Structure 1
Amino acid sequence: MREGNTTRLAKALAQAGISSRRKAEEMIIQGLVMVNGQVVKELGTIINPDIDTITVGGNPIKAEKRIYLLLNKPAGFISSVKDTHGRKTVLDLIPDVKERIFPVGRLDYDSRGLLLLTNDGEFANLITHPRYEISKEYEVWCKGRISDDAIMKLEKGIILDGEVTAPARVRLLRHTSAKSLVSIQIREGRKHQVKRMMESVGFPVFELKRVKLAFLELNGLPEGRFRHLTSREVELLMKQAWGKIS
C-alpha cells in the first residue's frame, strides 16, 4: 500500500483543474494519461501527487492549491462562475484569486450575507448535501407582523413540492405593524427554500441575509469583502458534516 498523500488518479486530475472526474476517467481509459512515464488505464490507480509525475497528452499536471473563502455577498451579484445575461458574479468580488473557485451553494441575486467559495468539490458536497445537515441561519424581513401560528408552522415543517421541510428554528427578532425581522435556521438547501416557506405561511420576504453557516459567522466582515478560512475551520466543518462533532 502506498503511503503519504495518496489519492485516485482521476481525482488528482480533477483537482488539478484538467477536467471533471468523469471526463478524467474517460481520458484514463483512452490511454491519454501517464504516471511516471507509463500509460495507466486502470481507473482505481492510486498515486501520490507529491511524488509521482503525471502527464496528460505529454503535458505535466500539478494539483491546485486548495482554497476556502468566506465572502460577505452584497445584493446585486449572481452566485455563479459566470452569467449568460452579463450580470456581475461573486467572482467579480474576488479578482486576485488565481485558482478556479466556485460558490458553495447559492444566495439569490438580491440576497446578501455569508457565502463560501472553494475549488474543492468534495468539500462543497459535504457542505451542501442535505444528508450532512449543515445548518444555515438567515435573517429575513417580511411583510406584516408575523404570527405565532405562522412561526409554529415553520418550525413543524412546510409542504414544498409535495414534501415536508425539516423542522426549522424560528425567532421573531423585532417588528413593527408593517414588517417583521425573523431569524430562521434550516438544515436543508432547496431552491429559494426560506422565501418559499415564508410565502407559504402568508408573510412574503422582501430582504434576506444569511448570517451563519454551521459555526461560521460574518463577525463584522464588510459587505463585498472576503477572508480565507483557517485550516482548523475547514477541518471542523468536514468533521461536523461527517457527524464527528456536535
Structure 2
Amino acid sequence: MPSSGNGSGRNSGRGNHRGAGGGNPRPKSGGGRDDKQKRAGKPRPEERRYDVGPGASKDGPKSGRGASARGGAKGAPKKGEQRTGGRRTAPSTSREYETRAEERNRERYAGKKEVKPPKTFPGAEQEGERLQKVLARAGYGSRRACEELIEQARVEVNGEIVLEQGLRVDPEKDEIKVDGLTVATQAYQFFALNKPAGVVSTMEDPEGRQCLGDYVTNRETRLFHVGRLDTETEGVILLTNHGELANRLTHPKYGVKKTYLAHIVGPIPRDLGKQLKDGIQLEDGYARADHFRVVQQTGKNYLVEVTLHEGRKHIVRRMLAEAGFPVDKLVRVSFGPITLGDQKSGWLRRLSNTEVGMLMREVDL
C-alpha cells in the first residue's frame, strides 16, 4: 500500500542515517517526553525566580542570592541594603517600627522603680577628696609621702588623728592639720619679701616710685601686703592672697609680735629698756615695747633690738626719738614666726607649709 511504503521508507531512512553516523542512538521520543515531565517541577535557570520575602515564588531559594541574581552582578546590594563608600550598610529599619518598639518599651517599664547601677569602685558614693590628695596639692610631697604622714599619725582632721588611708575630706569645711599646724588647702599663696630702703609699701604708686607690686608683677593671682613698713625701713614684709589671715595678722586683738633692729647713737642709759616697756607717751597715746635688748655696741654706736605687737605708723622710730635717741637705720627682722634670716635685700621667697601653719596658729586659724 502506498501509505505503508511511505512510512517504511521514512523509518528506513532514519535508521540508515543513524547507522552512518556511527554514534549512539538517540533515546526514543517517548523517553524524552518522560524526562520533560520529571523536570516539570524544576524550572530551567532562565525561568527561575530568585525573589525572597513577600511575593517570592515557592520554587525560589530562601537565601539572599535572589537579589544578586536579579541585580545582574555578583555582590549587588541585598533588598533593604544600601552601599556607602563601597561598603554595605545594615538594612534600614522603618521609623514607624522603631516608634512602635519604643512605645512598647515605655509601657513595659512604666511605673517601675529606677534601678541604679552599683558603683565601680569602693567609696565612690562618698563625697569629697582623699586626704592624701589634698595634702599633696598643698605641697606636702607626693601622694605616697602624704600616705606615710598618715601612717605616722601626724595628720588630724577636725581634731582627730587619722590612721586610715583614703579618708575623704572637704577642704572647704574640714580643718586639716599636719604636726599640729593648719594646712592651707586652697590655692593660697604666701611670700616673704626683704624690702629694700626706698621702696614704698603699696602695691601701686601713682607717683611712679618703686613699690611692692614691682616684685610680684608676674603672679597669676592678685597679692596684697600684710601691714606696712616705712619707705626708709628695710626688712621682712608678707605678701599673700589670703584675706582672713592678713586681717588677723594686723589686728591688735591677736597681738602678733614684730621684731626690729635699730641703729642709734649713745651713750644710752641702763633703764632705756624699762622706759620702753613701761610705755612712751606719744601724740596718739602710749606705746609700749614687749622686749628690748642691746645687740651690739661699737663706741657710741648701738644696735638695739625692739619687739612690740603694735602696728602704728612709724611706731619704733617715734618711741626711740621720744626717748632721746633718733634712729639712723631700721630693719624689721621678723614678723611673728617668719624671720628674715639670710634672705638678701630685694629677694622674694615662698613660705614653706610649716611657716604658713605657724602663721595660722598665731591667729587661731
Same fold (TM over 0.5): yes
1:138 alignment partner, one of 236, 260, 264: 260
d(CA) in 2 for partners of 1:196 and 1:188? Answer: 13
TM-score of the superposed pair, with normalisation by structure 1 = 0.69
Give the residue type in structure 2 aligned to 1:149: D
Match of 2:360 in 1: 238
Match of 2:192 in 1: 70
Match of 2:250 in 1: 128
Gaps of 5+ in 2: 1-126, 130-169, 173-185
State the Cα distance separating 1:240 from its structure 2 match. 1.5
Give the residue type in structure 2 aligned to 1:202: G
Give the secondary-structure state (helix, strand or coil) at the position aligned to 2:229: coil
Question: Is the CA contact (8 Å cut-off) linking 2:276 and 2:288 kept in structure 1?
Answer: no
Structure 1 window deviating more from structure 2 (173-182 vs 120-129): it is 173-182
d(CA) in 2 for partners of 1:84 and 1:142? Answer: 33
Q: Does 1:92 align with 2:92?
A: no
d(CA) in 1 for partners of 2:242 and 2:192? Answer: 14
State the Cα distance separating 1:110 from its structure 2 match. 0.9
Match of 1:80 in 2: 202
Q: Runs (4+) of structure 1 moved beyond 3 Å?
A: none
TM-score of the superposed pair, with normalisation by structure 2 = 0.48
d(CA) in 1 for partners of 2:300 and 2:198? Answer: 25
State the Cα distance separating 1:145 from its structure 2 match. 2.4
Q: How many residues align?
A: 186
1:239/1:76 CA distance change after superposition, 3 Å: same
2:271 alignment partner, one of 146, 149, 157: 149
State the Cα distance separating 1:162 from its structure 2 match. 4.6
State the Cα distance separating 1:151 from its structure 2 match. 2.1
State the Cα distance separating 1:233 from its structure 2 match. 1.8
1:160 alignment partner, one of 282, 297, 301: 282
Question: Is the CA contact (8 Å cut-off) linking 1:126 and 1:238 kept in structure 2?
Answer: no
CA deviation digits over 1:155-182, x for unaligned, max 9? 2111223522234200111223432111
d(CA) in 2 for partners of 1:241 and 1:114? Answer: 19
* Higher relative contact order, structure no. (Cα contacts within 8 Å, ≥ 6 residues apart): 1
Q: Does 1:103 align with 2:232?
A: no
Q: Percent identity?
A: 38
State the Cα distance separating 1:49 from its structure 2 match. 11
Higher helix proportion:
2
d(CA) in 2 for partners of 1:71 and 1:92? Answer: 12
Give the secondary-structure state (helix, strand or coil) at the position aligned to 1:151: helix
Question: Is the CA contact (8 Å cut-off) linking 1:145 and 1:175 kept in structure 2?
Answer: no
d(CA) in 1 for partners of 2:290 and 2:276? Answer: 6
Give the secondary-structure state (helix, strand or coil) at the position aligned to 1:131: coil
CA deviation digits over 1:65-122, x for unaligned, max 9? 3211011111111110111221100221233222111110011111111110112221
Q: Does 1:219 align with 2:341?
A: yes
d(CA) in 2 for partners of 1:49 and 1:219? Answer: 32
d(CA) in 2 for partners of 1:68 and 1:162? Answer: 33
Give the residue type in structure 1 aligned to 2:293: R
d(CA) in 2 for partners of 1:149 and 1:107? Answer: 28
Trace 1:49-60 onto structure 2 (pairs within 5 A): none
Gaps of 5+ in 1: 6-47, 51-63
Give the residue type in structure 1 aligned to 2:282: L
Match of 1:32 in 2: none
d(CA) in 2 for partners of 1:133 and 1:92? Answer: 29
When Rg is computed on C-alpha atoms for both structures, the one with the higher figure is 2
d(CA) in 2 for partners of 1:120 and 1:4? Answer: 22
Give the residue type in structure 2 aligned to 1:126: R
